[in-house]
Amino acid sequence: MYYSFIMLKPDALERQLVLEIIERLKTNDIAIEILDYRLVNKELIFKHYAHVINEMGEVFKEMAAKAFVGKYVIPMIISSRDENIIANVRKAIGATDPSKAALGTIRSDLGNDSMEKAKLEHRSCENLIHASDSYESYLTESELWFGRDISQKYT
């Protein structure tokens, strides 16, 4: 079995798209191993996006805090028999910018925001879902959100 990490972001929960997103993932032969419902604090989201904060600085840190802190997310460890799970999930989700995501992807079909609009409004783009971009990211993110003991069960 192969694993990855995804997180349904506050906008997915607020717009009541959780079940629809999960159903779309399941049609791509993705199974949910474990999920949680978490209230996000600064420490958690800053650790999750540490690499982006390092690249983009305080502006992104402030936007992440505004987008996540005090809101709920659904982190998940997911699985597939396909060793390309990470690439497959990212393809099913679509480009980070929902306005540029390919038709048929989660962000294209369900998204209602764009990077351009978010930039003009000085906020993070609401793009519904986060997915690990590498196996190393998966290991880091799954441990951050679920703890070492649970994370190690899915390696």
pLDDT digits (tens, 9 = 90+) for 118-153: 999 999 999 999 999 999 999 999 999 999 999 999
Tell me which of 48, 51, 122, 130 is the catalytic residue.
Answer: 130
Q: Quick check: is 63 in a domain?
A: no
Task: Please give the model's pTM, rounded to 2 decimal places.
Answer: 0.95
Give pLDDT tens digits for 68-107.
999 999 999 999 999 999 999 999 999 999 999 999 999 9
Q: Is the pLDDT of residue 25 over 90?
A: yes
Other residues' Cβ atoms within 10 Å of the Cβ of residue 84: 11
Position 13 pLDDT exceeds 90? yes
Q: Is residue 106 part of a domain?
A: yes
CA 39 to chain CA centroid, Å, is: 15
Is residue 48 annotated as a catalytic residue, yes or no? no
Asked if residues 7 and 129 have their Cβ atoms less than 8 Å apart, the reply is yes
- Which H or E run includes 131? strand 129-131
Number of separate domains in the chain: 1
CATH number at residue 83: 3.30.70.141
Q: Please, where are the H alpha helices in the chain? A: 10-14, 18-26, 42-48, 50-56, 58-68, 85-93, 106-110, 115-120, 135-146, 148-152
Q: Which domain holds residue 100?
A: 2-39+73-116+128-150
87 residue type, one letter? A
pLDDT band at 28 (very low <50, low <70, confident <90, very high): confident
CA atoms of 72 and 11, how far apart (whole Å): 9
Domain annotation covers residue 26: yes
Q: Which residues contact 14 (CB under 8 A, 6 or more apart)?
A: 71
